[in-house]
Amino acid sequence: MIIQNNREESLITEAAKISVEILSKLGDMVKEGVTPLEIDMYAGELCMEYRVHPSFKRVKGYDFNTCISVNDVAVHGIPKDIPLKKGDLVSIDFGVVYKGMYTDHCWTWSVGKASKENMKLLLAGRKAVENALTKAVVGNRVGDLGYEMEKEALRNEFNTLSVFVGHGIGKGLHEDPEIPAFGEKGKGALLEDGMVICIECQVVDDVDDIKTDIDGWSARTINGGNAVMFEYMVIVRKDSPTILTNTLDWGIEKL
């Protein structure tokens, strides 16, 4: 979506504000002994409380409020009824529909203190997306964002997954342009003023490939290496992007 007027910007801003509040409350449930399914059920309760609709339930064939990916599940994790353990990496991908506007964003936490290896992965995944975020300005191209994400992952001896991409968002959950987590500077679709996009990547301690569980959704790393995912919604602007899902001050350990 490219924002056309103040009303559209106000609506997408309010939708994102609600979405961040809900994801923050879901993050507070990330602790030893809690199951991803319990977190997902709480997400449904919060959506009713805030009078919004979980956007992922509008994806054909998907019946959950969230995607919750644990350890080697990189993305699209089906919320399981399996208690979380200390040291688990938990990514909660979430979005709402509010007055016709869609949101979509993700954060990864460690259950308790992260190991040295997991902390390196968490920081690399977070920085990859946050570095790319600063490039979401008028005149840049999606390749500029992808370049930043892949560069940070490789610098830390990790990989980004190329099969999944960021995307435009607004009046639909997945809109143009696609934003891969790799790319060349100056290449790809042009970023325009008012364009609303989701900048995301999965950074994996593994090769750039996945296998899908029998549930048809949960995408795991090939060799069992851990994965993290971070995602921001922003509005492309001339000098610096407007961050809609502002989680820049969030932590990555639930102690």
Whether residue 1 is contained in a domain is answered as: no
pLDDT in the model for residue 230: 98
Whether residue 249 is contained in a domain is answered as: no
CB distance 220 to 179 below 8 Å:
no
Going from the first residue of the chain to its last (255 residues), give the mean pLDDT of each consecutive group of 10, the final group possibly shorter: 97 98 98 98 98 97 97 98 98 98 98 98 98 98 98 98 98 98 98 98 98 97 98 97 98 97
Domain harbouring 10, CATH code: 3.90.230.10
Whether residue 255 is contained in a domain is answered as: no
3-state helix, strand, coil in the chain (%, to 5): 30, 30, 40
Whether residue 250 is contained in a domain is answered as: no
pLDDT in the model for residue 214: 96
pLDDT in the model for residue 121: 98
Query: How many folded domains does the chain comprise?
Result: 1
Whether residue 104 is contained in a domain is answered as: yes
SS3 148: helix
Which residue range is the domain that position 66 belongs to? 6-244
Whether residue 87 is contained in a domain is answered as: yes
Q: Which structure tokens are listed for 21?
A: 């509040």
CB distance 233 to 244 below 8 Å:
yes
Strand positions, DSSP E, the chain? 53-54, 66-70, 73-75, 89-94, 96-98, 101-102, 105-111, 159-160, 165-168, 175-180, 196-204, 210-212, 219-221, 227-235, 242-243, 253-254
pLDDT in the model for residue 24: 98
Whether residue 20 is contained in a domain is answered as: yes
